[in-house]
Chain A
C-alpha cells in the first residue's frame, strides 16, 4: 500500500458558538412519541407490544428482526396508541411502520435487573448484552453496535477509536457530550475495550474544542486507565469521516470496499460509547440522545437531551419557535444534512442535529454551468477521486468508467460541490448514480457465487465418475487375477 495520508478537505466556518454557549438541558416532555421500527441499519425491528398495551420507560417494545437489527425501547411510560405507518425523517417524509406511544407523563421505569460489573462478563456475553440495550452507532450511520463489535473480533489484536471529531458545521452534540459527560464517554470506552479484548483506545477530537479536551483529559486521569488516550486532529472538514480519521490517527488506509476491522480498528462515535455506559452501568437502554437545535431560523440555539420519538416541531417549540426568517429544515449538518419537507416527523436515533436554516445560513447554488475542468474538486476530495471525471461519466451513465474512477469510494461529503465554480451539484449526481452501480456490483457478486457452485458441482460429479471408473477397473483387475 502506498504512503497513507489525509488529503483534501476544506476549512469551513463552524457555526457552533451559539449552540454551545449554554449548558445541556433536557427537552420538555411531549404527549406523543413516534418510534419508526426501521430507524437503524439492517432489518426493521419487530414489535413486541400491541396497541392499547401499557408500557414503561425503558421497556423493550420491539426486538431485532434479523441478524443485523436492533432492539427498540420505550422512551416514556404510557400506552401504545398505535402501530401504523408514520412519516419518517430518514425516509424524507415517506411513511414507515412506527410504534406510537402516548406519554402519561409519569415516567415510570421498567424494572431492569441490576447490571453485573462488566469486567466480570466474558467479551461475548458483554457484546450480547450491549445489543440488548438497543445501542446503534449515534454518529449517523446507526449501525447495530453489537453486530459491529462481533464481526470485528476475528482473533487479532484490535484497537478502539472513539470518534469525537465533529467536523461538519453546525453540529455540536458530541462537543457538548464530551464537555459535560466526559466520564460517561470514558466509562463506555472501558466497557468497549473489554468487549473487544482490545488494549488501546484513542479518543479523537478536533483541535478547536479546548473544553472538551480538558474534560476528557480529566475523565481519563480520573479513571486511571492507561489504555485510553486523547488525540487532537485538525479541524478541516471532513476530518471526522471514519476513513479519514483512521488514517489521521493510525497512519493506515482502510482498503477500498473493506471495513476498519480489516486494519484492526473499530471506530465508534463518542455518543455510542456514552450510550453503552448508560446501559451497562446504569441499566438505561437507548431512549434518549443529544440533539443540536441551531440555525438562524430558530429563536434559541442550543443542545438538548431529547427522548427518541419527540416530534421535531415540538423540539423547535422548546427552543422558542421559528423566527420569521426560517426557510429550510435540515436534519444533519450543512454539508451532508437532509432537507425535510415538514416538521411533523420524530427524532430518531440518527438525529444528531436540526438546522432551522434561514437565508443567512444557506448559500444556495447559482445556475449550473458546464464543467470547465478547473480541478478545484480534485484538490479538495478527501478520497483522492477525480470528481470532474466522475461527473463526465455520470452524465454519460457510463457505469464501467464510474466504477474504474472509484464512484463507490465517494463518501458524499460535498467538498467538491462547495468549490465548484460552475455550481454543479456533484454530490447529488454521484448519489443518483450509486444505486445503478451497486446493483451491477451485486449482480457480479452473485454471478461469481454461481460460478463457484457450478465448479464445485462439476468437480463433485467428476470425482464420483472417476471413483466409479476406478472401482470398475479394480474389479476388472481382481477378476483377471482370479482367472489366472
Chain B
C-alpha cells in the first residue's frame, strides 16, 4: 500500500505567530482599560485609527513585495505595533499623528527591512521617535488624569472625536485649558526651574509613588506582563533586567541627592516603564538572542531610560533607550553565544 510521506518530526505543538500575538493583545487589555478610565476615550479612537492604518500599510507593502496577504495580514504583528504606538501618544492627538506614525513604523521600520522577523529596530518605537522629533509640541500635550484633586475639563465622546479629527479643541476650550504635561514632563520642568523633589512632588498630579493615574496604568501593565510570563510568551530576562537596572540607577542617584533626583518607585511606575519592560523591549525580533544577551540588553535599556529621563532632552527615555540598544544587539549576540554541549567554551 502506498502512503504519502513527510519529514520528521511528525508532531508539532499547535502554536502559531497569530496565537502569540493574540495573547500579547489580550495582555494589553488591562492597560488600555485603565488608560481609558483615567484619560477618556481618546485612546480607543487612536487605536482604531492606528489599526486601520497598520493593516492598510501592511497590505500595501505585502502587495509591493509580492507576498501573499494571508497569513501575514492577520498575524497580529501590525496590530500590536499600532496599539503600542497609540498607547504612547496623547489621547487627543490629531488623527494625522497616529496615522503617519503607524504608516512610518510599518512601511519603513518593518517592511523596508524585510517584513516580519527581519526588522532590526522596534517598529513602534521608530514611529514614536519620528513623531517626537518631528512634532514635539503635539506629542507632549497630554491630559490631566481623571482623579480626585484634579479637574480635567469634561469632554464628551463627540468632543473627543472632533478634537482628534479636526486637530483643534472644541470651541469653548483652548489647548491650555484641556491639556497638561505628564508627571515625568512636569518633574523635568520643575527641577530645571530649580525646585527640589519635595516641592515638585507637592503638585496635585503626584501621589505616593508616581503620577496619579499613571501608577495604576503601570500596575495594570505589570499584571498583563505577568500574564505573558505565566504563559511563557515572554521570558523573564528582559523585564527583570530592565526594571532592576532602572531601580538601581534611581536608588543610587536619589540616595545621593534626594532633593534632586526622583526615587526608584517613581521611575518604575511612571511613563512607559512597565509597558517598555514587558511589551516593547521584549519584542523578540529586535531583542538579543541568548539569555545572557537578553540580560545585558534589558539592563542597557534600563540604564539608558534613566539617563535620558534625568539628563537627556526628553521626558521619557524608553523609546530612545530601546532604539539605541537595538543598535547594539548584533554586538551583544556575537559575544553572548551560549556554550554548545561538548565544546570547551
- Are A and B close enough to touch in the complex, i.e. CB under 8 Å? yes
**Which of the listed residues A375, A389, A418 has the most CB atoms from chain B within 10 Å of its own CB?**
A375
With a cutoff of 8 Å between Cβ atoms, the chain B residues found around residue A361 in the complex are 10-11
B interface list, Cβ under 8 A from A: 1-17, 19-20, 71-72, 75, 77, 115-118, 235, 284-285, 287, 289-290, 337-345
Interface of chain A, helix or strand or loop or mixed?
loop
- Tell me whether B8 and A414 are in contact (CB under 8 A): yes
**Which of the listed residues B8, B16, B117 has the most CB atoms from chain A within 10 Å of its own CB?**
B8
Interface residues on chain A, number (Cβ under 8 Å): 73
- Tell me whether A335 and B3 are in contact (CB under 8 A): no
A417 within 8 A of B: yes
Selected interface stretch from A140-148, A281-289, A326-334, A460-468: A326-334
- Tell me whether B289 and A363 are in contact (CB under 8 A): no
Q: Residue on A with the closest CB to B3?
A: A329
With a cutoff of 8 Å between Cβ atoms, the chain A residues found around residue B16 in the complex are 366, 369, 421-423
With a cutoff of 8 Å between Cβ atoms, the chain B residues found around residue A258 in the complex are 342
- Tell me whether A253 and B341 are in contact (CB under 8 A): yes
- CA–CA, A335 and B7, complex, Å: 10
- Tell me whether A363 and B14 are in contact (CB under 8 A): yes
Selected interface stretch from A24-32, A174-182, A298-306, A337-345: A337-345
- Tell me whether A369 and B17 are in contact (CB under 8 A): yes
Q: B343 contacts which of A169, A256, A421 (Cβ < 8 Å)? A: A256
With a cutoff of 8 Å between Cβ atoms, the chain A residues found around residue B9 in the complex are 334-336, 414, 417-418, 427
Q: A256 contacts which of B6, B11, B342 (Cβ < 8 Å)? A: B342
- CA–CA, A339 and B11, complex, Å: 12
Selected interface stretch from A51-59, A130-138, A204-212, A376-384: A376-384
- Tell me whether B11 and A328 are in contact (CB under 8 A): no
A419 within 8 A of B: yes
CB-defined A-B contacts under 8 Å, sample of 23:
A12-B11, A255-B343, A258-B342, A322-B1, A328-B10, A335-B10, A339-B5, A339-B10, A341-B5, A342-B1, A361-B11, A362-B11, A363-B12, A370-B116, A374-B284, A384-B340, A389-B289, A409-B343, A417-B9, A418-B12, A421-B17, A423-B12, A428-B7
- CA–CA, A389 and B118, complex, Å: 13
- Tell me whether A253 and B3 are in contact (CB under 8 A): no
**Which of the listed residues A254, A329, A340, A421 has the most CB atoms from chain B within 10 Å of its own CB?**
A421
- Tell me whether A384 and B339 are in contact (CB under 8 A): yes
Closest-CB distance, A327 to chain B (whole angstroms)? 7
- Tell me whether A328 and B341 are in contact (CB under 8 A): no
- CA–CA, A371 and B119, complex, Å: 11
A interface list, Cβ under 8 A from B: 1-2, 7, 12, 92, 169, 243, 247, 253-258, 313, 322, 327-330, 332, 334-343, 355, 357, 361-367, 369-376, 378-379, 382-386, 388-389, 405-406, 409, 412, 414, 417-423, 425, 427-428, 431
- CA–CA, A383 and B342, complex, Å: 8
Closest-CB distance, B194 to chain A (whole angstroms)? 47
- CA–CA, A406 and B338, complex, Å: 11
Q: Quick one: given A341-B2, A342-B3, are A386 and B117 in contact (CB under 8 Å)?
A: no
Additional pairs, 7, CB under 8 Å, beyond known A372-B17, A406-B340: A258-B342, A328-B3, A370-B118, A372-B116, A373-B285, A376-B15, A417-B9
With a cutoff of 8 Å between Cβ atoms, the chain B residues found around residue A421 in the complex are 15-17, 19-20
- Tell me whether B3 and A378 are in contact (CB under 8 A): no
- CA–CA, A338 and B7, complex, Å: 7
With a cutoff of 8 Å between Cβ atoms, the chain A residues found around residue B289 in the complex are 373, 375, 378, 386, 388-389
With a cutoff of 8 Å between Cβ atoms, the chain A residues found around residue B285 in the complex are 372-373
- CA–CA, A292 and B340, complex, Å: 34
Q: Residue on B with the closest CB to A313?
A: B1
Closest-CB distance, A250 to chain B (whole angstroms)? 14
**Which of the listed residues B4, B17, B77, B345 has the most CB atoms from chain A within 10 Å of its own CB?**
B17
Closest-CB distance, A108 to chain B (whole angstroms)? 33
- CA–CA, A374 and B6, complex, Å: 25
Q: Residue on B with the closest CB to A426?
A: B9
- CA–CA, A316 and B290, complex, Å: 46
Q: A363 contacts which of B13, B72, B115, B235 (Cβ < 8 Å)? A: B13
Q: Quick one: given A258-B342, A366-B16, A371-B117, are A378 and B5 in contact (CB under 8 Å)?
A: no
Closest-CB distance, A391 to chain B (whole angstroms)? 10
- Tell me whether B12 and A365 are in contact (CB under 8 A): yes
- Tell me whether A384 and B13 are in contact (CB under 8 A): no
With a cutoff of 8 Å between Cβ atoms, the chain A residues found around residue B14 in the complex are 363
Q: Residue on B with the closest CB to A342?
A: B2
- CA–CA, A32 and B118, complex, Å: 56
- Tell me whether A405 and B337 are in contact (CB under 8 A): yes
- CA–CA, A369 and B115, complex, Å: 11
